Structure 1
């Protein structure tokens, strides 16, 4: 029996015929929506007898492999002298710059469709048309060729033979996966309390193509409890890929450790971790242009060899593994990891590769999404991250600078920058922040004109500060236009006038509707965190629907493992100087009561340093404080000081890098203190959120301030008990913790607290 595999015409041609360099100076940043709209506009001009989006399939048998080549051609046009295959491509380039030879890969794709159709209809020859549409002007340019079926057949044979060495590797790793998944079992002797229930819920969610919101307290083992059932769900073949989405590097490492553990238990899958471009780039400056970077120059000429090599020899493609093979094959490590994401079984990456419209993986086609499950770790973080992702700002002075810099050398570019600048000048003249009902009528069109002119200038290989400033302004304008396409009644337009530099912000008040729209095409989504509380708030804000599954699990730990104290001391801004010394004393008493290492969390650096100054007067206790803008190396050094059996007090900021995702097991952490209720200071934007949700019938103040603040408190407290052997003390310092509003938001296991008067 032949082995079966499937590949789209597009994927087949891209693998065999792509070549050249990465050049980020002038890459198309248009959205798939924009490309789709251009396709639809061309297709509307077709005659009634013409067909659009025509499904085509061909079964190719080669070396005992049955290769199903499939695709959907843009148009099948009917003329009296025979049919024409139409392939539509949008472009930012001037049409006069495009020749028949400009994009061989597009001809290859069109010829693939032409061969399949000619074979199906038994045609001796067929015409193929490439239709280029200029994105800004919507002008069209067409090229047409007549191909003999015999020539197309030879072309397809050569293409498939070139692809088969790669296809055999894909078949081999698929065979390994399909053999290992049914045979491997849970990688621990037994389940912790609540772990089996979570794993079962994730498996059922994936099988039923549903969504799940799960609050799973620290210690259950959320990573294994979600990855294991999602992988087992692949056994039936309908689910092919998992995206494990995280907000922080440390949780990505936890997912990698979980996969390593399962591999040691017999699992054989391929995974890749995508690391941010600026972190993994080999160059001092991240300039993705062939003149600046040898890893970008000729990237597409070498990438196939790199992919084949790493797939043959590696299963877990972590950052260090990707870097090793990228250096070996002289390819960009970031783009390499993105290309690997197309062929592996599990992708570990930041939220933004799925949710952020500016950097999300455009290569994830609808047919891939419906076979992909999303596992969203620490999902409480996604609310604020999404609000930021779906907001965008432009600054008047950026366009003033462009106007000034280019007026001598590119008058048309300078004029478009001036038009944008004048539009921004014309809006609200308030001193500070205000909202407006609508943006100026010509602003969107003028921004599009600026992008159009900037793209042509950027093609001229503008280097130096002037070119860099143009590139920055170009990207921020592109981002603004992308977000502008999402704007509806969930948004406010905020105008800020700061020292003469006016800005316009598209502020997303409620990201839930966009999150729901983004995840809808995927097979299933699992949102999990130790702190999805209150549950209704997070389900609402993450785009949950009535038919989604929900799961709340109790803590797996015993009540006697943790002692909770509440010290009703005012930490309000107006009282901080008067109570700072008493606060330092409360922290000192905690350390003396519970020997070992402690972490104390504060609402701001200023407050932290004020109390730290008083605490250092107690000379018998060693202490260390978090610094502004710590590098990853400095963060590691900070945590490395918390050694088993030591006595160290760490001062850190609530909601910062040390209050989430930090895992100091056993005797490395014996106590936590949380100062304040985590509420952010009142701000213009927070008040807009407050008003928006109040009008919706919710408690707007809680949505804007209380729930996000208390989540920080619970996350910080969650650093303490990480395993069945851990014991320790938590001190909550603020008189408001004793009010009913805040007490009922505390985790169940914290509510047997003792009050320190």
Structure 2
């Protein structure tokens, strides 16, 4: 969809989107055919073009209008001398493995481009060519057809007629949606304190097409305070869709609840809302391969898709449960129905990976159709670490060794070659537990790429083999190879050797800015909001935000009298002082509890520290109720832990700073009356963090702050933010570490706190 569709008399669609809508049929087929990366695709196109003659025309812009429907796109290349129009596709491994519906889609695209070209240049005939480039070998496979202008025009019109009814529906929906959003009203009598200020800043960001860093305190209703103004701005700014991106599943639920209060769930506000769920969570048959011969929901998927798509957009509200209901009632896969519907949704609610990761669905849609997107990122203080994870990759020597023992004979040579290169790397490097390498080892990388090709071919020839370990290794190897392609000063190659035969080779992203900057540039506007976005320069630098990004801090609506903040600067929680710190920490916890019995959270820097403090506390104060977070808690155990915070009961819950209970949980009123933080929250000093510090110092001149101080204090403030959740709450926070007395650390605490 384009930004003008709501007001223009016609409708505009990209060639690829038109063909995807009208030309696919038969089974869904996602056998193990790893696709080239975006960079490989771009380089592959350039390689093909470099082999063509001087008169070759690349990236040929073509368009035509049929009965009010404008179809536009860029053909990959045209050779006027040979009168040959080319559609270039890159692939890995054997071309025979390509799904039938994919080949049909490719022919449909080049045929539509052929019709547009013949009309524009008055051609009577043209040679159509599908050029398939195998990435690893550089080998071209060219399939050609001779086509007349009349036949191509007839085919073009058939595609358009098949799409026109849908286009008219979309145009009408857009007009209805925008009219409703123009009248959108706040679902409450008034804004909460601080919420209006936040909403005004979000609306200004959407109006000016800028990025906004919005630091707003917990408890003011940030979810509604960002969604409402962004939705109100959609018709005025010609936004096609809005993406609400979260760090964890509970954030998606909050966004859906806010959209429901705005009338989206019951149709009062005609919004199409789609919840994006990870593939492994949405899959109905995880024990079956994803193709028509194995899964009943993949068989005939594209034949049943049109009816499922119509039913889905008619429903409008498509959270996980609703999408599943629609999908199963039409016999199609819920996950892939959701992927299809993303193009037609107004609001997408999903994980941050859906926009910021490699090959992200939402980013791909915007790039493909040129739509205008508004982005909201909840709990944005986590985006630095999440993005580092997205653009990092690791290989494990133990996994390779296990795989070699169980691998089929056809893979023994390539896997053996990889193992030998890995062993050589370990022998050639210094005998250290951890080492930073100047570059990604060429020998290992070359052998890895050969192994990838061999595994890909093998899985293509044995599509129903179901070898999970082989598939997992393939995906890890592909991820590593792709990170190696983009290796630069933003990342670090590390070799870790915790023991013989247990080496790990990793590419760790240190500065995600280089990968995220293009994502922010693609969006019309982006709002990153959290209770902890100080200092703004840290997030601007590490996230690659545009130079005109605006930073705003919403004034906290809480009074200093609501929160007692005490500093215990006579306690050191440094590692050498841990044993000595236990007695005063336990005494502080017990004294505060006896002064005001209630629910408390006590945060420690590690499980080892937590367990030592807990044992000491139980021995000294056996009558005070305590419980503790433990390693590897599953979702049920986490819910049970939180369920213990009920009004009327009391006790101290021990937890790890930065863990599941240090942020993103809501315990208002008497459910939580205080928190203790027995750490400064600094990441553990070690060779990796020291390398990170050096890299950040060289690039930004803020090495220690960016590697240690700021991330640590963000964790502290997030944990403390569990205490005051609303205007009626009262509580206490005790920060225990002598370093809290330093000016540079206190400057990162909320300015409404009154330190005692």
TM over 0.5: yes
Q: Is 2:478 aligned against 1:478?
A: yes
Partner of residue 590, structure 1? 592
Q: Distance in 1 between matches of 2:207 and 2:567?
A: 45
Matches of residues 378-457 of structure 1 in structure 2 within 5 Å? 378-406=379-407, 408-410=409-411, 413-414=414-415, 416-418=417-419, 420-421=421-422, 424-425=425-426, 427-457=428-458
Q: Following TM superposition, by how much is the alpha carbon of 1:246 offset from its aligned partner in structure 2, in angstroms?
A: 1.2
Q: Is 2:53 aligned against 1:9?
A: no
Q: Distance in 1 between matches of 2:415 and 2:676?
A: 56
250, 267, 278: which one pairs with 2:280?
A: 278
Partner of residue 4, structure 2? none
Q: Secondary structure at the match of 1:674?
A: strand
Partner of residue 322, structure 1? 323
Q: Following TM superposition, by how much is the alpha carbon of 1:685 offset from its aligned partner in structure 2, in angstroms?
A: 0.9
Matches of residues 181-196 of structure 1 in structure 2 within 5 Å? 181-196=181-196
Partner of residue 51, structure 1? 57
Q: Following TM superposition, by how much is the alpha carbon of 1:283 offset from its aligned partner in structure 2, in angstroms?
A: 3.5
- My pick for the range that moved more, 728-737 or 158-167, is 158-167
Contact 2:33 2:93 in 1 (8 A): no
Q: Distance in 1 between matches of 2:334 and 2:220?
A: 35
Q: Distance in 2 between matches of 1:416 and 1:304?
A: 48
- My pick for the range that moved more, 103-112 or 624-633, is 624-633
Matches of residues 241-256 of structure 1 in structure 2 within 5 Å? 241-256=241-256
Equivalent pairs, count: 745
Q: Distance in 1 between matches of 2:8 and 2:96?
A: 48
Matches of residues 630-669 of structure 1 in structure 2 within 5 Å? 630-669=633-672
Q: Is 2:467 aligned against 1:461?
A: no
Matches of residues 126-275 of structure 1 in structure 2 within 5 Å? 126-263=126-263, 266-275=268-277
Q: Is 2:37 aligned against 1:31?
A: yes
CA deviations over 1:133-183 (Å, ceiling 9, x no partner)? 122111112222222333333323332333344334423432331121111
Partner of residue 541, structure 1? 542
729, 732, 735: which one pairs with 1:729?
A: 732
Q: Distance in 2 between matches of 1:23 and 1:607?
A: 50
Q: Distance in 2 between matches of 1:27 and 1:415?
A: 23
Q: Secondary structure at the match of 2:75?
A: strand
Contact 1:169 1:312 in 2 (8 A): no
Q: Is 2:718 aligned against 1:712?
A: no
300, 303, 311: which one pairs with 1:301?
A: 303
Contact 2:434 2:494 in 1 (8 A): yes
Partner of residue 487, structure 2? 487
- My pick for the range that moved more, 412-421 or 342-351, is 412-421
Q: Distance in 2 between matches of 1:412 and 1:147?
A: 46
Q: Following TM superposition, by how much is the alpha carbon of 1:285 offset from its aligned partner in structure 2, in angstroms?
A: 4.4
Contact 1:57 1:68 in 2 (8 A): yes
List gaps (5 residues or longer) in structure 2.
1-6
Q: Following TM superposition, by how much is the alpha carbon of 1:218 offset from its aligned partner in structure 2, in angstroms?
A: 1.6
Q: Following TM superposition, by how much is the alpha carbon of 1:631 offset from its aligned partner in structure 2, in angstroms?
A: 2.3
Q: Distance in 2 between matches of 1:162 and 1:423?
A: 59
How has the CA–CA distance of structure 1 residues 21 and 507 changed in structure 2, closer, same or farther, with 3 Å as cutoff? same
Contact 1:402 1:417 in 2 (8 A): no
CA deviations over 1:296-345 (Å, ceiling 9, x no partner)? 44433333322221111132x21222222232223332222222222111
Partner of residue 3, structure 2? none
CA deviations over 1:83-110 (Å, ceiling 9, x no partner)? 3321111122435778999811111111
Q: Distance in 2 between matches of 1:7 and 1:547?
A: 32
Q: Is 2:683 aligned against 1:680?
A: yes
How has the CA–CA distance of structure 1 residues 193 and 442 changed in structure 2, closer, same or farther, with 3 Å as cutoff? same
Q: Following TM superposition, by how much is the alpha carbon of 1:458 offset from its aligned partner in structure 2, in angstroms?
A: 1.0
TM-score scaled by structure 1? 0.92
Q: Following TM superposition, by how much is the alpha carbon of 1:247 offset from its aligned partner in structure 2, in angstroms?
A: 0.8
Contact 1:397 1:502 in 2 (8 A): yes
Q: Following TM superposition, by how much is the alpha carbon of 1:504 offset from its aligned partner in structure 2, in angstroms?
A: 1.9
Partner of residue 313, structure 1? 315
Q: Following TM superposition, by how much is the alpha carbon of 1:717 offset from its aligned partner in structure 2, in angstroms?
A: 0.8
CA deviations over 1:668-688 (Å, ceiling 9, x no partner)? 222222221112222221111
Q: Root-mean-square deviation (CA), in Å?
A: 2.8
Q: Secondary structure at the match of 2:365?
A: coil
Q: Distance in 1 between matches of 2:623 and 2:721?
A: 27
Contact 1:376 1:527 in 2 (8 A): yes
Contact 1:423 1:440 in 2 (8 A): no
Q: Secondary structure at the match of 1:682?
A: coil
Q: Following TM superposition, by how much is the alpha carbon of 1:711 offset from its aligned partner in structure 2, in angstroms?
A: 0.7
Q: Following TM superposition, by how much is the alpha carbon of 1:32 offset from its aligned partner in structure 2, in angstroms?
A: 1.9
Q: Secondary structure at the match of 2:87?
A: strand
Q: Is 2:628 aligned against 1:625?
A: yes
Partner of residue 745, structure 1? 748
- My pick for the range that moved more, 355-364 or 468-477, is 355-364
CA deviations over 1:168-218 (Å, ceiling 9, x no partner)? 442343233112111112333223343333222222222222222221122
Contact 1:608 1:653 in 2 (8 A): yes
Q: Distance in 2 between matches of 1:99 and 1:382?
A: 36
How has the CA–CA distance of structure 1 residues 338 and 426 changed in structure 2, closer, same or farther, with 3 Å as cutoff? farther
How has the CA–CA distance of structure 1 residues 97 and 313 changed in structure 2, closer, same or farther, with 3 Å as cutoff? closer
Q: Following TM superposition, by how much is the alpha carbon of 1:370 offset from its aligned partner in structure 2, in angstroms?
A: 5.7
Partner of residue 613, structure 2? 611
Q: Following TM superposition, by how much is the alpha carbon of 1:286 offset from its aligned partner in structure 2, in angstroms?
A: 7.5
How has the CA–CA distance of structure 1 residues 389 and 11 changed in structure 2, closer, same or farther, with 3 Å as cutoff? same
How has the CA–CA distance of structure 1 residues 387 and 427 changed in structure 2, closer, same or farther, with 3 Å as cutoff? farther
Contact 1:420 1:447 in 2 (8 A): no
Contact 1:416 1:449 in 2 (8 A): no
Q: Secondary structure at the match of 1:749?
A: coil
